[in-house]
Homo-oligomer: A and B are copies of this chain.
């Protein structure tokens, strides 16, 4: 991900403007003027520090208030998680654990609870190290909501819960190998401690004698949903030489306990009991969105499916029941933050029952071996893979990887009819795992869909018989984006719901008659939909897909980062439409 540029701040502030108080507006304008003046040539953090020095007044004294304002302005995020960790964050500042520009801190701080980055921003703000300006751009393409080295953290997190613990253990192992006495402090959450990989880290810390590791656990008894049981303290005691439990709501108490653990031989764990309300921030009194996200219709669709098929149904989710709209619609088993287990629990059920696993697409990436075990032995298995790609980013290639697993087929339904057609296909072919990409976005359904041939394609804009110019083929959600962009261009437009379509001969031959075929997918280009068309049909398709890393920002901005904004697509289609000669894009890259 490229570092944010002044223009990113400008754009993000446009979005923030309606939510700023007059005082905030005034401060931000002054800071923006300085940003325009100085630019970011000296680096992001030095530039921010300089602005903070030149606009020294603070709008708020307390970081909790700042945190609330950040989320009110952003309109999204994990406000409650940030709040529950705030006293821990303050203690880290007080104990000189937070990385700083002017020399090494007292210990190496790894923030495994990556989404509490805003707590640090809020503290940096009240301590005068950051201006208000970036705080008003949270999640909007300038300031990331997840820890990132660019914003002064010692670690960057991208994909996986539990990564922070691995980063901390890696660091502790390295310091020990070098014979350095500095300690590593890792901030973790109790939900995260339920991931298999954190166990591997904890176990190894003990076995490798990493006496320089201190894990601080925010124990709010919740992952995204409430934990089935509180984090097992005996488990912690079985691996950590010292385990101390304190009231995590009291900065003083946390500071004193952590201060002491920094001097004792480890590995040590400090369990901070905290309270967390709801997981995701909702703007109070904000308009209830007229339309649900497609992903959140999952529960309703599963309920209908269970009724239609008459099959007893077992649904497993790794803490994402809300995302898929399960509560009140179907019975489900929450397995906590443990995606491999979620897949594994399908292994020995009745072959004729319907099994559904539901988590974010990126979380399957650490479970593909378990999924292979399931795809070669479990019948009637439907995998719902959430596609968020919001503040946490995501894996652009997740569906391509899922599609490569033996005996899987990947679909991205964009209408209830297509969801149903996928389920019907699973009924006909129960030994193939059907992976359904469930898009966590609100969009207009296309006027026609692939329900009658879920593996084929359907013309959104049919070609004239004589037209041999340019056409566009799109996958799933990208269809809705392209349809918008193509509304008044009228380029022939074929929609597919399958990542690896099996086009009827007539459709394939019709496509082959066009001089230029463009494929569009909001999905990793490498190994994806467009490359499949090239490989299978040897069509010189020009592939437009996600080429880079997924960013940490809200959906609308994310889209534009990958050239998927409707106006960007319109431009792309136009250039295709009007191109006078054939482009045989033999080598894509």
Give chain A's interface residues, CB within 8 Å of chain B: 110, 155-160, 163, 165-171, 173-174, 177, 194-201, 203-204, 206-208, 227-229, 232, 234-235, 237-239, 314, 333, 335-336, 338, 340-341, 343-350, 362-363, 365-370, 372-373, 376-377, 395-397, 400-401, 403-406, 524, 526-527, 531-532, 534-538, 540, 549, 584, 586-588
A-B contacts, 29 listed (Cβ < 8 Å): A155-B347, A158-B372, A159-B372, A165-B344, A166-B341, A166-B370, A169-B341, A169-B344, A170-B345, A171-B348, A173-B345, A177-B314, A194-B203, A199-B199, A199-B200, A201-B344, A203-B235, A204-B335, A206-B229, A234-B237, A235-B238, A365-B368, A366-B369, A368-B368, A534-B536, A535-B535, A536-B587, A537-B586, A538-B540
8 Å CB contact of A401 from B173, B194, B368, B588: B368
CA distance A368 to B372 in the complex (A): 14
Contact of A534 with B538 at beta-carbon distance under 8 Å, contacts A200-B340, A340-B197, A344-B201 already known: yes
Report how far A160 CA is from B374 CA in the complex, Å: 11
A163-B373, A370-B197, A373-B163 known; A404 and B404 CB under 8 Å?
A: yes
Q: Which 8 A-B pairs have the closest CB atoms?
A: A196-B196, A166-B344, A199-B199, A234-B238, A365-B369, A200-B341, A171-B348, A207-B228
CA A300 – CA B159 in complex, angstroms?
A: 35
**Identity of the chain B residue whose Cβ is nearest the Cβ of A363 in the assembled complex:** B369
Tell me whether A160 and B587 are in contact in the complex, defined as CB-CB below 8 angstroms, given that A197-B340, A335-B204, A344-B169 are known contacts.
Answer: no
Q: Which residue of chain B has the shortest Cβ distance to A173 in the bound complex? A: B345
Contacts A338-B204, A404-B526 known; A370 to B376 CB distance under 8 Å? Answer: no
* Contacting residues, chain B, for A584 (C-beta < 8 A): 538
Do residues B347 and A170 form an inter-chain contact, with CB atoms below 8 A? yes
Residues A370 and B338 in contact, CB atoms below 8 Å apart = no
The reply to whether A234 and B232 form a contact with Cβ atoms under 8 Å apart is: no
Report yes or no: A369 in contact with B362, Cβ–Cβ below 8 A. yes
Of B158, B200, B526, which is within 8 A of A196 by CB? B200
- Contact between chains at A350 and B229 (CB < 8 Å): no
Whether the Cβ atoms of B200 and A229 lie closer than 8 Å is no
Report whether A370 and B377 are in contact in the complex, using a CB–CB cutoff of 8 Å: no
Residue picked from A163, A195, A201, A540, most chain B C-beta under 10 Å: A163
A167 contact set on B, CB distance < 8 A: 344, 347-348
Give the residues in chain B near A169, CB-CB below 8 Å. 341, 344-345
Known interface pairs A366-B368, A369-B362, A376-B549; A349-B199 also in contact (CB < 8 Å): no
Q: Contact check: which of B206, B362, B369, B404 meets A159 at CB < 8 Å?
A: B369
B531 and A535 contact, CB distance less than 8 A: yes
Given A155-B348, A347-B163, A366-B367, also A196-B229 (CB < 8 A): no
A584 to B512: give the CA distance in the assembly, Å: 15
Q: Please tell me if the beta carbons of A376 and B158 are within 8 angstroms of each other in the complex.
A: yes
Q: A163-B373, A169-B341 are known contacts; what are 4 more A-B pairs with Cβ within 8 Å? A: A194-B203, A207-B228, A235-B239, A395-B406
Q: Closest chain B residue to A177 by CB distance?
A: B314
Contacts of A338 in B (CB 8 A): 200, 203-204
Q: How far is the CB of A387 from chain B (nearest CB, A)?
A: 15
Contacts of A400 in B (CB 8 A): 404
- B173 close to A333 (CB less than 8 A): yes
Q: Which residues of B contact A198 (CB under 8 A)?
A: 196
Chain B residues with Cβ below 8 Å from A340 are: 166, 196-197, 200, 366
Most B-side CB within 10 Å, residue of A110, A207, A400, A526: A207
Cα of A239 to Cα of B314 in the assembled complex, Å? 25
Q: Across the two chains, which residue of chain B brings its CB closest to A198?
A: B196
**CA gap between A429 and B587 in the complex, in Å:** 22
Given contacts A199-B199, A336-B207, A536-B588, contact A369 B395 (CB under 8 A): yes
Question: Taking CB as reference atom, which chain B residue is nearest A585?
Answer: B538
From B155, B232, B366, B537, give the contact of A203 (CB < 8 A). B232
Among B158, B165, B237, B396, point to the contact of A377 (Cβ < 8 A): B158
Q: Is the CB of A158 within 8 A of B235?
A: no
The CA of A173 and the CA of B332, in the complex, are separated in Å by 13
A200 to B167, CA, bound (A): 20
Task: List B contacts of A166 (CB < 8 A).
Answer: 340-341, 343-345, 347, 370, 373
A587 and B537 in contact, given A166-B370, A234-B238, A348-B174 (Cβ under 8 angstroms): yes
Chain B residues with Cβ under 8 A from A527's Cβ?
403-404, 527
Are B369 and A160 in contact, with the CB atoms below 8 A? yes
Taking the nearest CB of chain B, how far is it from the CB of A314, in angstroms? 8
Please, which residues of chain B bring their CB within 8 A of the CB of A341? 166, 169, 197, 200-201, 204
Contact (Cβ within 8 A) A336 B204: yes
- How far, in whole Å, are A159 and B335 apart by their CA atoms in the complex? 22
A588 to B195: give the CA distance in the assembly, Å: 41
| Shortest CB distance A363–B (Å) | 7
CB distance from A317 to the nearest CB of B (A): 13
- Chain B residues with Cβ below 8 Å from A170 are 344-349
Q: For the complex, what is the distance from the CA of A159 to the CA of B396, rounded to whole Å? A: 26
Q: Are A373 and B158 in contact (CB under 8 A)?
A: yes
The residue from B156, B208, B237 contacting A238, defined by CB atoms under 8 A apart: B237
CA distance A196 to B110 in the complex (A): 21
**Which B residue sits closest to A587, measured CB to CB?**
B536
